[in-house]
A and B are shown apart, each in its own frame.
Chain A
């Protein structure tokens, strides 16, 4: 099978590429960054998904499956840049999928779009609205990308579209939103709050994406591994020191004293949990996570 992975140079995307390649799939990749030592059978096109050469990759190579992982979550990029890549990039990728006869498109999204709020239910199902547009406005571009990808389900019924809302991926790669949050020796918390954090091992996340391809999944699915643990447990389990900060002082501490920079909207996500119900995905793909929460934290700490 010919599989195109956008954003193939991301740590998790590379893992997906190598997994699929190892079992004999032909892998194409699009990324702005080079992958100089890409293994044989992985063909990387160094371009932006929004540029004309990207369309030509679709036109010339006619992939069967597209795994769209060319989205960014870090806040070092400007809001405009994030919107361009996350929303406009997603739009173009899905249009190419339709135009060039792709059979299945897998959008790798995030569970954070559900947003954290004191009155939000603990286990979010796929029917829940994406509250992040108001609770964490800086994530609006990812919410829009997720909803745009999901719109392909009715817009182009012939294209099998899987929208995966994945919990944080954490592990030896040290890449991803949660890994960045835990990068320093200290982890900021809001004094008096200790929300549950839902995460899964890098390898389990990769396995889930591969399963979505294998099962030709179509629909919107939450993807999760082990049950969540409190942020304080996560911080200690990864060898970090949780630092409870009174909420009014939080904005003054972000990016200082060895604490990570976080946009103002992130406060809700440090106060309240975002936990998802991934039953539908498990049922559809027989997915079982291999690493429990303890193993995930240890693998992150010790690598």
Chain B
């Protein structure tokens, strides 16, 4: 028996899409940021199962994400574990014919965890440092940002879908690099892993900011339907050297658009679950039509 090869864990669809992914892989299948084609194959094959079967994710407004060039995807964080991040990555990879890969800005503590650190770096999920963000955007890549940070995923179920404070660093970087901001809302994550308690000692033990405890104790998300709503790209004038109050104003605009997307997304999600929504506006599992719910109304908010 030959040595185990990671490629055997890659699905056919993922393999095809990886060939269309516009990343500069070298002969070892590595890009200059350490992203490995082989690891991406396994990663997206795993996400595919969660995206298509486990969470049955519906994605709206994917056309708001540019097909090429830099952009910053900014959304709400929820659900104890960063399930939302994985599903956003999957939507960018599966919801359109031309797949895209986004780099998430990961909490720094993950860099010290064996295996997690290795896998995150091989699948392009880098420590959330301004240097990384600037370099990736200047290289024309997609960045996935959750400005709530661990405060967002650490929310308790009673505070679900209530946005906490947004960090402001992302806005200065967007201005500096001229990258558009694509707001999004992730719906369903709060219900999939309802955190009712934080096990502080356990968190301290593993070096994590919190350890989510759901009513059923095991911190693993339930197989509930989730939705992603992308809003229209937002552009702001400036260089990134503006005073804090200007930046904070811009950030508030982004936050309120995300809030609207969340509210609207929750309402539509509820209607769909109740069966009162007349039709499915868009199912992203491989299709690429436009999304009325996310390309009109609350997200038409370019400042």
Contacts and interface: CB of A to CB of B under 8 A. Distances in A.
A associates with B: yes
A172 B43 CA distance: 37
A29 interface: no
A195 B120 CA distance: 11
A227 B121 CA distance: 15
Contacts of B30: 227, 229-230, 233
A192 B117 contact: yes
Interface stretch (A82-90, A117-125, A282-290): A117-125
Given A119-B127, A122-B34, A193 B114 contact: yes
Contacts of A230: 30, 34, 36, 122
Interface string B14-48: 00000000000011101111101000000000000
Contacts of A190: 114
Given A118-B127, A119-B127, A273 B34 contact: yes
Contact of B33 (A122, A193, A293): A122
Interface size class of B (residues with CB under 8 A): 20 to 34
> Which of B113, B116, B121, B122 neighbours the largest number of chain A CB atoms within 10 Å of its CB?
B121
Contacts of B114: 190-193, 247
Contacts of B31: 227
A272 interface: yes
B33 A292 contact: no
Contacts of B129: 119, 121
A215 to B, nearest CB: 25
Interface size class of A (residues with CB under 8 A): 20 to 34
A125 B130 CA distance: 13
A118 B113 CA distance: 9
B252 interface: no
Given A123-B131, A272-B111, A193 B118 contact: yes
Given A273-B34, A294-B28, 7 more contacts: A118-B111, A119-B108, A122-B126, A192-B117, A194-B118, A227-B30, A292-B27
24 contacts: A118-B108, A118-B112, A119-B111, A119-B127, A121-B131, A125-B131, A190-B114, A191-B114, A192-B114, A192-B116, A193-B118, A228-B34, A229-B28, A229-B30, A230-B34, A230-B36, A233-B30, A247-B114, A273-B121, A292-B26, A292-B27, A293-B26, A293-B28, A294-B28
